[in-house]
């Protein structure tokens, strides 16, 4: 991490901070934190994204933390000479649109599956991207306000599932750093229920469609729903006492959106998803959680047997890993 180099690269340029599509709380908190950090070092920036801000928790963040983030459709003057910093995502990943601007920098906490050259890169495998952004304040001695500190801590909380998933020593250190600055009232507001009544449809559909293969649980949501909700349903499936690896996918007009969860070290969710979807789609992520996408052309190719094809792919890779682990 070299914050001075990042600031030097961005100075004198029109800068955008781009989150992954359909941003979640960690992506939005990271974008906000980086924007505040850069402003204190003389760099103005605009936060942007593609897709929609659909989930109750992310909509609530806009109200509670009072910041602006623009959909790419509302940005009419971005040019190829403008600089982009991607947060919580990496260029060429399936979950981030390639905007016209120049992606000169990346701050992310996910594994790299497609190599990309940046002028500045800070990719470290920690619990949340917000953890990395918090470290920029701490290591540089840059003052942090309570609004930013609370947003960053909330992003960390959500992405680590309340400090129970993928937590590293740096996550704990940044929790300790941020905690004295947080606004308790804002955190209480953010910790209210993040589920809307309409979300229950997705849970109901998934429950009706659950399939079990030993310790692997599959569920399809046969209609479009937000990425974050697919992830919540995947967490729900993993909570079942007989499931140690969960695969949930939602059917959309353009294909299938996947959310994968694992609680076994030898079943690395990111690696298994990348291998299982290789040749028919894209996927990747962390050891405990991953995402993926299969375009509609491939779904139609398999016809009504697409469920069997996808599930067999995951089962095959998981069983390979299980045999390797038992050697």
- What tokens does 190 get? 């953010």
Return the higher-pLDDT residue of 128 and 191: 128
Rounded average pLDDT over 252-277: 93
- Banded model confidence at residue 56, pLDDT cuts 50, 70, 90: confident
Q: What is the mean pLDDT of residues 38-47?
A: 97
Q: Which domains does the chain have, with CATH numbers?
A: 3-190 (3.90.1640.10), 199-326 (3.10.310.30)
> For position 100, what pLDDT does the model report?
94
The two structure tokens encoding residue 122? 């800070």
215, pLDDT greater than 70: yes
pLDDT digits (tens, 9 = 90+) for 110-141: 888 888 899 999 999 999 999 999 999 999 99
Q: How confident is the model at residue 255 (pLDDT cuts 50, 70, 90)?
A: very high
Its sign, for the CA torsion 163, 199, 289, 263, is positive
Q: Give the per-residue pLDDT at 212.
A: 93
**Which of the four pLDDT bands, split at 50, 70 and 90, describes residue 195?**
low
**Would the pTM of this model clear 0.85, i.e. be above it?**
no
Per DSSP, 281 falls in state B
Average pLDDT over residues 173-183: 96
HSE, CB side, 13 Å, CA atoms: give it for residue 236. Answer: 18
- What is the number of alpha carbons within 13 Å of residue 324 lying toward its C-beta? 10
């Amino acid at each position: 991490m070299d914050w001075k180099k990042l600031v030097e690269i961005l100075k004198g340029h029109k800068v955008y901070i781009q989150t992954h599509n359909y941003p979640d709380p960690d992506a939005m908190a990271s974008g906000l934190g980086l924007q505040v950090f850069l402003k204190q070092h003389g760099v103005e920036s605009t936060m942007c994204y593609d897709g929609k801000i659909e989930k109750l928790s992310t909509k609530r963040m806009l109200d509670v933390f009072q910041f602006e983030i623009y959909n790419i459709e509302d940005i009419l003057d971005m040019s190829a000479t403008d600089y982009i910093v991607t947060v919580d995502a990496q260029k060429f990943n399936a979950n981030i649109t390639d905007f016209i601007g120049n992606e000169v920098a990346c701050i992310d906490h996910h594994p790299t599956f497609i190599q990309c050259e940046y002028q500045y890169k800070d990719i470290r495998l920690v619990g949340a991207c917000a953890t990395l952004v918090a470290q920029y304040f701490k290591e540089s001695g840059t003052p942090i306000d309570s609004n930013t500190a609370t947003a960053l801590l909330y992003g960390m909380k959500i992405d680590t599932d309340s400090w129970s998933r993928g937590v590293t020593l740096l996550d704990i250190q940044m929790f300790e750093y941020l905690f004295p600055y947080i606004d308790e009232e804002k955190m209480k507001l953010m910790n209210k229920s993040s589920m809307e009544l309409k979300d229950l449809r997705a849970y109901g559909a998934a429950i009706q469609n659950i399939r079990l293969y030993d310790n692997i649980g599959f569920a399809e949501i046969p209609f479009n729903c937000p990425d974050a909700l697919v992830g919540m349903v995947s967490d729900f499936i993993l909570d079942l006492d007989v499931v140690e690896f969960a695969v949930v996918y939602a059917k959309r007009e353009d294909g299938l959106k996947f959310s994968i969860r694992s609680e076994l070290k030898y079943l690395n969710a990111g690696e298994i998803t990348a291998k299982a979807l290789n040749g028919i789609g894209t996927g990747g992520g962390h050891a405990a959680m991953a995402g993926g996408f299969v375009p509609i052309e491939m779904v139609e190719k398999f016809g009504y047997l697409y469920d069997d094809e996808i599930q067999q792919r995951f089962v095959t890779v998981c069983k390979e890993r299980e045999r390797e682990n038992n050697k």
